Amino acid sequence: MPKIIISCAITGSIHTPSMSPYLPVTGAEIADQAIGAAKAGATILHLHARDPANGRPSANPDHWAGFLPAIKAGCDAVVNMTTGGSAVMTLEARLEAPKRFCPEMCSLNMGTMNFALYPMAARITEWKHDWEEPFLKGTDDLVFKNTPRDIAHVLAEMGARGARFEFECYDISHLYMLKHFVDRGAVTGPFYIQFVFGVLGGMAADPDMLVLLRLTADRLFGDQYLFSVLAAGRQQIPMASMAAAMGGHVRVGLEDNLYLSKGVLARSNAEQVAQIRGIVEGMGRQVATPAEARAMLGLKGAGEVAF
């Protein structure tokens, strides 16, 4: 089997600071945890920013500047900046920091969907910030907008800056949307598909669905793609392990799951990376270095970014 890429999603827009004291929020915390994850074996670091004053998901490039240079100085991992940000951000806000910093990789959501996080609210008894409870409860009426026009705009803006993409597919229909852009000539291989499970509004973490997605992607894209799997919540490790056994790649991290095992909060992203690394190496897979991942994905190199 090919060497395996371990991605780690360091912090994100899904979990609020109230849900774990170990979720990094400030620039220093994000940088420290990202570097720790890289040292534990993470090949790619998937990054969001937060406002250090209140923990809100942030699109402000100044907040990104609080950790991007430190991460680059502290490790050689591939930096993958979100273009999804948060479902409540405009597309232009979501693109402001990636356009400024010109990373090697960006995430790109491949379809509009419900993004329902409100069941989390019932599990929180104490709120750290006043925005958290209304934000989560309000997601019963939240649409995450990623239209074909939006996708084309991201491809054009970030493609012109030399970025390659992690195509985030929350539904099988998103694979067909990707095929549409391949047919238009807007996407060329090799490309990296992230199958996303466990978000209410997208696919449940169902092993049969992973098999169907793999078969569909094989039919649509042949040997021109690599796939990775992330599962939000408690199915993170089981679904990642299944992906690794199928020859795919994996993503873990506190953006997707706050726990190391049932009832045990992960104290860092590095703990989750070490956990999945042990599993995949036990299967006989070797973890790709950042240099190997850059070659596999056709990336421009860390020397070509603007941070």
Instruction: Round to whole Å and give the CA distance between 59 and 72.
Output: 20
204-228 residue pLDDT tens = 999 999 999 999 999 999 999 999 9
191-200 residue pLDDT tens = 999 999 999 9
169-183 residue pLDDT tens = 999 999 999 999 999
Q: What does the pLDDT read at residue 86?
A: 92
Query: In Å, what is the CA distance from 246 to each residue of 108, 214, 226, 233, 250?
Result: 24, 9, 12, 21, 11
Contacts with 130 (C-beta within 8 Å, 6 or more apart), sequence order: none
pLDDT at 7 over 90: yes
Environment class of residue 137 by beta-carbon count within 10 Å: exposed (0-12), middle (13-18) or buried (19+)? middle
Nearest C-alpha neighbor of 144 from the set 176, 171, 179, 104: 171
DSSP β-ladder status, 49-50 and 44-47: unpaired
Global pTM?
0.96
pLDDT at 14 over 90: no
81-138 residue pLDDT tens = 999 999 999 999 999 999 999 999 999 999 999 999 999 999 899 999 999 999 999 9
Q: What does the pLDDT read at residue 304?
A: 97
Q: What does the pLDDT read at residue 226?
A: 98
253-274 residue pLDDT tens = 999 999 999 999 999 999 999 9
Instruction: Round to whole Å and give the CA distance between 141 and 138.
Output: 6
DSSP category for residue 287: B
**CA 183 to mean position of chain CA atoms:** 25
**CATH 3.20.20.70: does it fit domain 6-304?**
yes
